[in-house]
Amino acid sequence: MNKTKQLLLASAVLTLLPMGAQAGLINGGFESPSFTPGSPDVSFIDAASLPGWNTTAADNVIEIWSDGVLGVPAYEGTQFAELNANLVSTLFQDSDGIASGSILGFEFAHRGRLGIDTLRLDITDLGLDGVFGTADDSLLFSKEYADGNQSWGFYTSAGEAPIVALGNTVRFSYVSVSAAGGNDSVGNFIDAADFGVGVAQPIPEPMTLSMILAGLVPVYRLSRRA
């Protein structure tokens, strides 16, 4: 477990989701299924065989790398994914049961493959119809992250404006924006993706909204199920 995640989870409290609701991404570290332990390789599998994850790729293929392939270490565990399997792709998960007004936190690791690659995290409330891409969608958060191929970048919601859930299905999308190398099958490694859910905390005087937005005051605590 990395240091930042320990910090985030150190403040975890009881789950605030209804019974049966999901807290956190499923298989966010791409460790399941486990491929060829001790024999590093790259595996192309149908998204249906990868717990939790879906892809926008027309061939429905997700690419899993083992730790150390071509000199690239996993950020956590022994496996990670490349957003661009055979095609420029978005990997995503939908989560239900997050109460309206909940504060969403996130974290993930990103790395370029051949140079500087750019990933965009979109967090979208799918609206009453529960369908992505329709008029009632609300984009709750969107930000691009650029990383080179010499080290992993690790990002969290710390310091971001509060991301407030609206009570419908929430989609977490990791979008391949651009990649070095000019090949649709190359770019944007991802690992250790997760989210947490909390509630806004009462703000004691004399703390002000501006202080919160400046990241000086924690206003939520993350909760997460294993």
The residues of the shown chain that bind Ca ion, judged by CB under 5 A, are 29-30, 63, 74, 76-77, 79-80, 82, 85, 126-127, 129, 131, 134, 136-137, 185, 191
- Find the shortest distance in angstroms from Cβ 59 to Ca ion: 11
Residue 171 vs residues 35, 59, 119, 216, 224: alpha-carbon distances, Å = 27, 21, 16, 28, 17
- Find the shortest distance in angstroms from Cβ 123 to Ca ion: 14
- Find the shortest distance in angstroms from Cβ 8 to Ca ion: 17
Taken as a whole, the chain contains a residue count of 226
Which is closer to Ca ion, CB of 100 or CB of 208?
Answer: 100
Which is closer to Ca ion, CB of 22 or CB of 89?
Answer: 89
The Cα 220–Cα 158 span in angstroms is 10
Which is closer to Ca ion, CB of 99 or CB of 132?
Answer: 132
Which is closer to Ca ion, CB of 107 or CB of 191?
Answer: 191
- Find the shortest distance in angstroms from Cβ 87 to Ca ion: 9
- Find the shortest distance in angstroms from Cβ 48 to Ca ion: 19
Q: What angle do CA 44, 58, 175 make, to 5 degrees?
A: 80
Determine which helix (DSSP H) or strand (DSSP E) holds 4, and give its type and residue range.
helix 3-10
Residue 185 vs residues 107, 113, 154, 170, 188: alpha-carbon distances, Å = 25, 11, 23, 28, 10
Residues 188, 179: contact at Cβ < 8 Å?
yes
Other beta carbons less than 10 A from residue 194's beta carbon: 21
Which is closer to Ca ion, CB of 11 or CB of 34?
Answer: 34
First to last CA, the chain: 13
Looking at residue 76, the DSSP 8-state letter turns out to be: S
